[in-house]
Amino acid sequence: MKDKIVAKTPTKNEAEFPDLRDSIVECIDRRHFLIRFGGLVAAITLSGTSVGALLGCQRGTNMKPGEGERWSSRNGLPNADVSIQPVPGTRPEFTSLEDHYKMFNEPVPPLPDIGDWRLKVNGLVEEPLEMRLDDIKRYEPLHAFITLACISNPLGGPWISTTRWTGVSMQKILPLWKLKPQARHLRINGADGFYECVALETIHADERVMLVYEWDGVPLPMDHGFPLRIYIPSRYGMKQPKWIATIEATDHWEAGYSVVNTWDKDAIMETTSIIDTVIISESHESDGLHSVLVGGIAHAGARGISKVEVQVDDGDWNEAQLRPPLSDLTWVLWRYEWPFQGGEHTFSVRAYDGSGTLQKDEPSPPYPDGATGIHRKTEKI
């Protein structure tokens, strides 16, 4: 039985964000669909989740970022002076807001009016309360460079990005809410209908769990969660609601929106390494032969990356150089130099997380807990 897509008149929000209308969804059956945008086509297996839960997982094109001068326009990156440089063709280390991937639970994201917006805190609290964004911003801000990835990102896919996040540590704001002793979890509810349950134990264990209101020094863009979203280290984006409207303290865990739709309960980021580029470098020469430069990214959430190795054809695995990352929460850019040999060659990459654990080499699709496998590129050089 085929699903149907019904055309409708663009809403006011769609007219203001025309890029949201440029994605074409082609239904195949109830378990598969294609998202087509620009020159990229992504085939996604649903396996129980709804189309709406994945629709919009795409790179930004014409998004309207928050107003103001961006942090990156007046500051250099913290590793700008390190000697190890990315191989030309490697994706940018710091993602512009326009290019940061985005995920919508609905085809068009909510557009809250900041004048009327209040964060409502209720449930197992001494007294329900409401907070304006200015109330939240009075707390000491926490700044962090963070890499975020979509759990439905295929191996080597574009739905992973890095920017500078600003917010307040939830450890600092919890005392104001006066939770009752029996409270064990917070149900975070977004204005788009998306929700997730966060254990208080997780918050108490990591000060980096934060309510976020800025990216790159400006207010969150409308289509990235304005005015408030949550960040939880080492979790895929499906665990981190945007457009937060209410937070309810509860005495029990409940499955979040994506978990109800049969995605993984924990959604912990898999260790992943990707080849972005393979080039012949005229500036690297030995005994009259040029070098082949291979470069890309590796990521393991807050676990970090301790080593990346590259294999050419069926040869040995050799260690690549690692560029110091922007923070312990971001991807690592790596580079590998290989003596030129003409012909067609297959390059493979694998990574070890900060504890020395090797990534999974068995290939698996994104559903239900994130894509795994060895990324390869075959090039004729």
Full set of structural domains in the chain with CATH: 12-60 (no CATH), 101-260 (3.90.420.10), 272-380 (2.60.40.650)
288 falls in which pLDDT band (50, 70, 90)? low
- 211 touches 170 (CB < 8 A): yes
| pLDDT top residue among 287 and 311 | 311
pLDDT at 244 over 80: yes
Tokens of 345: 């060659």
pLDDT at 17 over 80: no
| pLDDT top residue among 118 and 103 | 118
**pLDDT > 70: what percent of the chain?**
80
Average of pLDDT values for 21-47? 36
Average pLDDT, the chain: 84
Distance CA 81, CA 87 (A): 16
Report the SS3 class of residue 314.
Answer: coil
Closest-CA residue to 158 (of 32, 229, 61): 61
- 353 touches 308 (CB < 8 A): no
Average of pLDDT values for 30-56? 37
pLDDT at 46 over 90: no
Per-residue model confidence (pLDDT) at position 284: 56
pLDDT at 26 over 60: no
pLDDT at 58 over 50: no
**Count of H helices and E strands in the chain?**
6, 23
Per-residue model confidence (pLDDT) at position 286: 55
Q: Considering only 64-78, 146-160, 293-307, 347-361, which range has the smallest mean pLDDT?
A: 64-78
Distance CA 63, CA 40 (A): 18
Tell me which amino acid residue 123 is.
Answer: G
Report the SS3 class of residue 77.
Answer: coil
- 353 touches 298 (CB < 8 A): no
